[in-house]
Amino acid sequence: MSIGLAVALIGLTSLALAILLVPLLLRRRADGSREAYNLRVYRDQLAEVERDLGRGLLSPEQAEAARAEIGRRILGLQYGATGPHPDPPPQAGEGGTRREAVGGWGLTAATACVLLLPFAAWLLYAQLGSPALPDQPFAERAAAAKAVASGVQHLDLGKAVAKIEAHLKEHPEDLTGWLLLARTEISVGQYAEAADAYRHAADLSGHRADILGDWGEAQVLAAGGTVTPAAREAFQAALADKESAPRSRYYLALAQSQQGDTKAALQGWVDLAGDSPADAEWLPLLRQRIAEAATTLGVDPASLKTSSGMPSPAAVAATAQATADASPEERRAMILAMVGNLAARLEQQPDDVEGWARLGRSYMVLKEPQKARDAYGRALKLKPDDAALRQAYAEASRAAEPGAAQPSR
């Protein structure tokens, strides 16, 4: 070993000893247990996670991961293997003196252990160390660490569930415990168990709106994505909570779609999109649902409006983005499917003037002027005094004549 390396080792060892010894030598009796303070901090962190989730700063997956981690820390603090363990009461007199003496011996022993630690480390390194061993590539170290961390996290969450369940058997009225259990079960994929835990929490809370929303979502997850009647009732009651109301509105519209009322579901999603901030984290999923429902109904995205009659730019952008991301063949297939669904619906609802006009415009885009002329003709029969319809019918008729130039749209 070179002199420079030895000096560096001695310097680092001295620094480590100083870091360990100074707190020991300056330590005095603790003023009291910090458990209550730490517990308040963790609960504040849980509240902050809920606020961030409501503001769209965290995704549901990130929020659940954060809740699980904070819950694990609370368990380590509050629900140990032997249950809650408050600090022992202070003692005075002879017992107190004896404890101080034992504390003094403990401090001496701790100091001695710290001083002996570097010598033990040097001896071990002399026997087991391999300074010439080549370094492991960072990618391999990262992959190994990730695998270990994943296993440890799963194991920790499994232990956390067992500890919370044991605690709740003795304290079934603990609302916080039921919420911790439900969120932990969600994070490990035990959705049915999570739904049952949320049911207990909802009952204990007096059916608090935000907890009812969590309960409804857990039921949907447990049912493989189906909004069950019980979940629908929970979401209906959960609308009273403003922060989680968008989630309830989304699932209530999904329930309508699953029951076959796609038109009502589309209107519900369009209304939700109109009420949502531009950076809301649920908009991508919402836009996907709107695009699918619009295609199923054969509805022109440009015609989508909220229930109050206002255009919904977010809803229009949903289908526009879905169309823009597709290839030319896929875009044409999407348009053809939309037009086909619209034509089929109009055969069932032949009195829809706007629908026939929309169908005529769609056929003109597809460069099928004969079909466009027929659609405009149906619209004119229902509204013969509409000048715009007469003009559109005339244009489609000219384009449908043999040898006429096709519209370049």
Cβ atoms 315, 270 nearer than 8 A:
yes
Q: How many domains does the chain have?
A: 1
308 found inside a domain: yes
pLDDT in the model for residue 405: 55
pLDDT tens, residue order, the chain (409 aa): 557 666 666 777 777 766 766 666 665 444 444 566 667 777 778 888 787 777 777 777 777 788 778 877 777 665 554 444 444 444 444 444 444 444 555 566 666 666 677 667 767 666 665 555 555 555 554 554 454 344 444 446 677 788 888 999 999 999 999 999 998 888 888 899 999 999 999 999 999 999 999 999 999 999 999 999 999 999 999 999 988 899 999 999 999 999 999 999 999 999 998 888 877 888 888 888 888 888 888 887 667 888 877 666 555 565 555 555 556 776 677 667 778 878 888 888 899 888 898 888 888 878 899 999 999 999 999 999 888 889 889 989 988 887 655 544 4
Residues 71, 347: Cα–Cα separation, whole Å: 58
pLDDT of residue 233: 96
Q: For residue 315, give its domain range.
A: 304-409
Q: Check: CB of residue 63 under 8 Å from CB of residue 24.
A: no
Residue 362 CB-half CA count within 13 A: 25
**351 domain residue, yes or no:** yes
**Which two structure tokens, joined as six digits, stand for 184?**
């932990």
pLDDT given at position 291: 84
Q: Where are the alpha helices (DSSP H) in 298-368?
A: 313-324, 328-348, 353-365
Q: Within a domain: residue 289?
A: no
Question: Helix axis angle, 3-26 relative to 93-128, nearest 10°?
Answer: 170
- Can you give the pTM of this predicted structure? 0.47
Number of H helices, E strands in the chain: 17, 0
CB count in 10 Å sphere of residue 339: 22
pLDDT at 145 (0 to 100): 45
Q: What is the pLDDT of residue 24?
A: 63
Q: Are 211 and 198 in contact (CB under 8 A)?
A: yes
Largest CA distance in the chain: 115
| 257 part of a folded domain | no
pLDDT in tens, 75-91: 766 555 444 444 444 44
- Tell me, what CATH number does 380's domain have? 1.25.40.10
In which region does residue 33 sit, left (phi positive, over 0), alpha (psi from -120 to 50) or beta (all else)?
beta
d(CA 223, CA 225): 6
Contact 392, 360 (CB under 8 A): yes
- Which residue reads 């401090």 in tokens? 107
pLDDT, tens only, 89-143: 444 444 444 444 445 555 666 666 666 776 677 676 666 655 555 555 555 545 5
Q: What is the pLDDT of residue 309?
A: 75
> Is 383 within a domain?
yes
In a domain, 157, yes or no: no
| CA–CA gap between residue 360 and residue 354 (Å, rounded) | 10
Q: Is residue 267 part of a domain?
A: no
> Is residue 342 a part of any domain in this protein?
yes
Query: What CA–CA distance (Å, rounded) separates 296 from 314?
Result: 19
